[in-house]
């Protein structure tokens, strides 16, 4: 088993449980509001470059 999960794998899991784009955005927004450091850590764990992490966090701040 890989120690990381790709963004594509994560999105596929969300879609498999019925989340659409709006629900995924709501999830990010809630994560950012309730635990900004955890959201940062999660995005880094997914292997996203720093610029992408910053853009995602700014979008949902």
Which residue would you say has higher pLDDT here, 4 or 61? Answer: 61
Residue 46 DSSP one-character state: T
Measure CA 59 to chain center: 12
Please tell me whether the overall predicted TM-score, pTM, comes out greater than 0.85 for this model. no
- What is the tens place of the pLDDT at every residue in 6-56? 999 999 999 999 999 999 999 999 999 999 999 999 999 988 999 999 999
Look at the alpha carbons of 59, 43, 54, 12 in this order and tell me if their dihedral is positive or negative.
negative
Confidence of residue 1 (pLDDT cuts 50, 70, 90): very low
Torsional sign, CA 6, 10, 15, 21: negative
Cα 50 to Cα 54: distance, rounded to the nearest angstrom: 6
pLDDT at 61: 86
Tokens for 38? Answer: 């955890």
């Amino acid at each position: 088993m890989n120690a990381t999960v790709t963004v594509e794998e994560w999105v596929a899991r969300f879609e498999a449980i019925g989340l659409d784009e709006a629900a995924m955005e709501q999830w990010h927004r809630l994560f950012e509001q309730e635990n900004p450091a955890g959201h940062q850590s999660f995005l880094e764990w997914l292997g996203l470059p720093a610029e992408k992490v910053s853009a995602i966090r700014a979008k949902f701040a």
